[in-house]
Chain A
């Protein structure tokens, strides 16, 4: 396995390197400019850019926890190493203050830095290239009128050969196709708008499409489920793990409010996305929901029916004589910690948890999301004033979380048991933020 990986690595260097140098190892540098003054942009254009930047989730990657918006510094962990999102405020030295509109458009549409170096595709220009020039100009106007923040972007932590940007030229030859997305005349205006946003600025596939060995989205499994920040981004096509099929109307409410019963809450890396979409024009989110709804397919054909409503479970059971077993008994932990909010027969209150039979994180093949939710809890979506699910990372040991997860899986889904749960929980705890 190690040898195979090593050989793949060597092969990659030779192939990508050769291809890269044949193509262009570097593009010409574009001249620096004086920072654009805010008055030189039309107010309406800035407002349009603000909405498009929210749809594009620029703030999610280009802001670090506790840092200024758009000032960068957020680490993005990839299988190749850690890449830091850059400062895209108009600071002349550390941001994009010296970038002309031409330089900005080239970065968005071709993945090239102002100085001519290739950008890593962690910056999803494979999607942004599909946006119209008019939309990209609006985003430029919005970004250049933000408060300039002086913030040096940390150096990427990429081992050789991935530290060599010339390789990206080869990558682009293989996997990058520049060009705006043209409407499909056979589709409705709404679906065309949805396709334009989902495949372009919103770059849903960057997380929800699996990636190949070279970090490119596997187009034959478009929206088939991917990875982000130690979470699984579930499939948004026919392979969706949702036990209750989504409708476009439910998707719209989920994407704008961050919560839609019976499916649950936008958690983890999806939460800031829903926060953003709650602030943009409704018709754009409706278009996104319609397009994703069409990708998911009709609710009936070869989709799993929702499991029958569960029987009422005993919400407490005696420990018996075996204290050791009680310590790691998923049923007992469920009864004492989860049932009060999640039992359909239990107490009702405003922030009642969803029935776990309709939970996608219990039903999906990947166990990481459920372990994150149990350990870290779920913050309330921005639109909701209520507190939400507390995290149990301090209360439960890894073994206890694993025991609880095994119990939830066998009780609330018709899916096969997960394996290696202790390891999954241990890794989720390492990548979890502090409560």
Chain B
């Protein structure tokens, strides 16, 4: 029995240690945000965050996630309270069929958590690992730029810290 820390909560799973994280998320825990695309780490539909960095959950055995923080799409917000990156993807209508979008959002989230002011080149390089077969790349890129803007202004709008008020 292994324990996975997902979206800030511990979850026990019965799966064997070598089981890919994606299978544990979807089959045991009902967290269906991450999608099964190729199952070979080639398409990015299964992207989640491990310690704030994007990983391909279909080729990541749950053994290596022990004691580390996993963030899935569900951890960014739901239908009633979408997070800034999710809102940006909705605002830009970035989804065509939508299958890749969960992974795209998680990949973008991983970028913005480390770098809220990515250049166009940084965005494109970072998002390269995720594929979209419908061809909505331009809208996806627009959504990432919008999300970066939203994350930045959220920081500007945030209540000032103790230091700033002084």
Contact = CB atoms under 8 A, between A and B. Distances in A.
Main secondary structure of the interface of A (DSSP, over half): loop
Contact of B64 (A324, A333, A389, A390): A333
Given A66-B121, A317-B16, A319-B16, A333 B40 contact: no
A319 B63 contact: yes
Q: How many interface residues does chain A have, given as a range?
A: 20 to 34
Contacts of B61: 332-333, 335-337
A326 interface: yes
Q: How many interface residues does chain B have, given as a range?
A: 20 to 34
Interface in A377-420: 386-387, 389-390, 392, 394-397, 400
A387 B56 CA distance: 14
Contact of B18 (A316, A390, A395): A316
Contact of B63 (A326, A340, A387): A326
Contacts of B64: 327, 333, 336-337, 395-397, 400
B54 interface: yes
Interface string A293-336: 00000000000000000000001111100011011010011011
A178 B64 CA distance: 55
Given A390-B42, A394-B53, A319 B59 contact: no
B81 to A, nearest CB: 27
Given A317-B16, A332-B18, A390-B42, A323 B60 contact: no
B42 A395 contact: no
A317 B18 contact: yes
B88 interface: no
Contact of B42 (A337, A351, A435): A351
Contacts of A435: 129
A329 B63 contact: yes
Interface in A346-395: 349, 351, 386-387, 389-390, 392, 394-395
B2 A394 contact: no
A336 B18 contact: yes
A336 B40 contact: no
16 contacts: A66-B121, A316-B19, A317-B16, A317-B18, A318-B17, A327-B67, A332-B61, A332-B63, A335-B61, A349-B40, A351-B40, A390-B56, A390-B59, A390-B129, A394-B53, A394-B55
Interface of A: 66, 315-319, 323-324, 326-327, 329, 332-333, 335-337, 340-341, 349, 351, 386-387, 389-390, 392, 394-397, 400, 435
Given A332-B18, A351-B40, 12 more contacts: A316-B18, A318-B16, A319-B63, A336-B59, A336-B62, A337-B59, A341-B40, A387-B131, A390-B56, A392-B55, A394-B50, A395-B50
List the 4 closest A-B pairs by CB distance, nearest first. Answer: A336-B61, A319-B17, A394-B53, A336-B18
